[in-house]
Structure 1
Amino acid sequence: MMNSSRKIIKAAEVAVTSLKGDNSDAFTAPLWEQENERARSRASDGTRHVAGADVEQRVHDAREKGFRDGVKDEQKRSGEAIVSVMEAVAQVRREWSDLQERFYDEAKENVIRLSVALAEKIIRREVSLDCDILRTMLDNIFGDLKDRTGLTVFLSPGDEQFLKEHGVGEEESDASVRIMADPDLNPGDVLVETPELVVDARIIEQLNVLQQRLIDHDGGEGAAGRE
């Protein structure tokens, strides 16, 4: 019979690893402890797996968010760039329109001035070749001033001499009209003085009036047409 003072170990609680000696290292942990250890190990592995999956999900979400934010920022920058380009294009169009208008106005005036200068040369040449033009001018002036008295007509020395030589001089004119030479006048120019007014019928003055009317008239219609 076994001594009752010795400790009794149930076989189900231990596993025999060696029958040598009486050393306690010869026994393994009870089975329930082994199961608990394996359960803790599996739980730890599961926790690490869950933690790893959570980290991966967080990284994925952060990457997706960064991508979306990047796309939004790029769209914003692209939109701002497009707006800047459109504003620049609009500014260029305005400047080009102003440049065209200035160029048109300057070209228009230059063309009119050149035309008037050319007309002056042609008229003076025609007057020098055909003195009937001078007679016609005088007839028109006298017709406009027929109710005036005390008229004095100033002509260039050449024109005044021509009229005297061809019978249209002071002695054949109305007694109230005097024809005199003015060395400051060019051929074809006529200057008429009365006690009340002065009629400047010089060719250049008439052409200047015509020139200004052309510029003003074309400027108004040109601006309306460009609009």
Structure 2
Amino acid sequence: MKILKQKKILKKEFLSALSSAEDILKHAENMAEEIIQNAKIEAEALMQESRKAGFEQGMAEAASKIISASRYREKVIEKFKDEIIELSVSIAEQIIREQIKVNPSLVNRIFQKAISEIEDKDLVTVYVNPEDVVSAEILVAGREGGNRIAKVVRVVADDSINRGGCVIESASEHVDARIETQLDAVRKALLGNESD
């Protein structure tokens, strides 16, 4: 009987130990599951941070490259500014010369503007390209009467003046309305060089 009692006690202790072991095992499994879940959450958070950091780093690198490219563009423009201006003025001159060939009324407008700048209206001499003499004489003749250019106007052919331009002189004034003179003024203004 003693043995039977001891067996019962041992069995009871064994069952109690087994139950405790099962509880410990279950608790350990729960803790392991919780640790795994937390690790997954942390891993996901780290991945998100890495993606965000990578994205932000990529954006920072892209912004840096854009700024560098912009600075390079500005340097190139500054380096070739004079050449760009010269080319632009040269193209403008070619276009103006072609327009004068196609539309001779432009010559009259240039003459009228130049003549309007003269205040001394006693004796005015208008120097023009030989091809523009007739246009200038017609303009002068058309203004005789109520809206006279001057008391006396002479139109003089001058081979040194390109078509479409003119130089007007009075006793006290000189107006250089040659196309190349006007384009030189534009060129100097664009280059920031007002001195001759």
Q: TM-score, normalised by structure 1?
A: 0.45
What is the aligned partner in structure 2 of residue 190 from structure 1?
A: 166
- Give the CA deviation at 1:58: 1.3
What is aligned with 1:6?
A: none
- What is the DSSP-based 3-state SS (H/G/I as helix, E as strand, rest coil) of the residue aligned with 2:162? coil
Moved more, 44-53 or 56-65: 44-53
TM-score under structure 2 length normalisation = 0.50
Distance 2:95 2:24 in 1: 98
In 2, are the aligned partners of 1:156 and 1:182 still within 8 Å (CA)? yes
Partner of 1:118: 95
Contact residue 100 and residue 106 of structure 2 kept, 8 A: no
Say whether 1:31 aligns with 2:14. no
Q: Structure 2: where are the runs of 5+ without partners? A: 78-86, 142-149, 188-196
Contact 2:136/2:155, CA 8 A, preserved across alignment = no
Question: Which is bigger in relative contact order (C-alpha 8 A, separation at least 6)?
Answer: 2
Match status 1:74 vs 2:51: no
Q: Deviations over 1:182-203 (max 9, x none)?
A: 4422244311123443212224
The CA RMSD over aligned residues, in Å, is 5.1
SS of 2:127 mapped into structure 1: strand
Q: In the TM superposition, what whole-angstrom CA distance separates every residue of 1:163-215 from its partner, at most 9, and x where no partner exists?
A: 99xxx9xxxxx886555554422244311123443212224456x49x89xxx
Equivalent residue runs for 1:153-164 within 5 Å: 153-156=126-129
- 1:161 positional shift: 11
- Indicate the larger mover: 185-194 or 86-95: 86-95
| Structure 1 residue ranges without an equivalent (≥5) | 1-12, 14-28, 103-109, 169-173, 213-227
Equivalences, count: 160
Among 50, 63, 69, the residue aligned to 2:36: 63
Identity %: 15
Structure 2 counterpart of 1:51, which letter?
I
